[in-house]
Amino acid sequence: MLNLPQISSLPLLKSKYSAGFIFGWAMILAIASATVIYQLNNLTEESGNARLLLTKLKEQVSRLNSLEWEGISKGEIDENLTEELA
């Protein structure tokens, strides 16, 4: 049978840092991590909004391009085409 030491006979680990010091740094790290996560979430939301805006812009440019080609094919811009361009 193995001869294992009793837990009560093991020496306590000593640290050169106090528990308050370690707790303080842990709190600072937790707050910093939460702040970074919050900022990344905001950047993700802004990126999604920018992507949506660019998609809408792409649709409008495509529509404008088709209206331009319609005007070129007719040789003139009539009243209906002018209304659509506005």
Residue 82 has pLDDT above 90, yes or no: no
Question: Max alpha carbon distance in the chain (Å)?
Answer: 102
**pLDDT at residue 56, rounded to an integer:** 96
Confidence band for 17, pLDDT divided at 50, 70 and 90: confident
Are residues 40 and 58 in contact, defined by beta-carbon separation less than 8 angstroms? Answer: no
Residues 6+ apart with CB under 8 A from 77: 71, 85
The amino acid occupying position 76 is E
Predicted TM-score of the model (pTM): 0.54
Confidence band for 46, pLDDT divided at 50, 70 and 90: very high
Region 53-61: mean pLDDT is: 95
